[in-house]
Amino acid sequence: MAPYVPVLPLAELPPGTVKIVEPQGRRIAICNVDGVVHALEDRCSHDNGPLGEGSLSGKLLECPRHGAQFDVTTGRPVTLPAVVPVQRFPVKIEGTQILVEVP
């Protein structure tokens, strides 16, 4: 099991927002969906675009390049042009800090 790494204070990620963090050199999009925090790779599986720079609507994160949408709870694409899921990372909250398990 990989270690959990502190990435962001919970107060900096209100519901409905996305922040990009870079623990251990990995770009990860941290998303707050109705108070539940999710983490996935900041890379659209369609063309390697910056997924975390897209818009979050409910549990769907839309890539800003071609509009592919991903379910942040599963990492699976729900619209074309993406067809391959993106990697998700386990998240936990300790006190006021968001931690992500980074391999």
Q: What is the pLDDT of residue 96?
A: 97
Which residues of the chain, if any, have pLDDT below 50? none
pLDDT at 99: 98
6 touches 98 (CB < 8 A):
yes
Query: Could you read off the pLDDT of 82-92 as tens digits, one per residue?
Result: 999 999 999 99
Q: Would you put residue 46 in left (φ > 0), alpha (ψ -120 to 50) or beta?
A: alpha
Residue 48 domain boundaries: 4-101
The token pair at 58 is: 């409910």
Integer distance in angstroms from the first to the last C-alpha of the chain? 8
* Res 2: pLDDT: 87
CATH of the domain at 93: 2.102.10.10
29/23 Cα distance (integer angstroms): 11
The structural domain count of the chain equals: 1
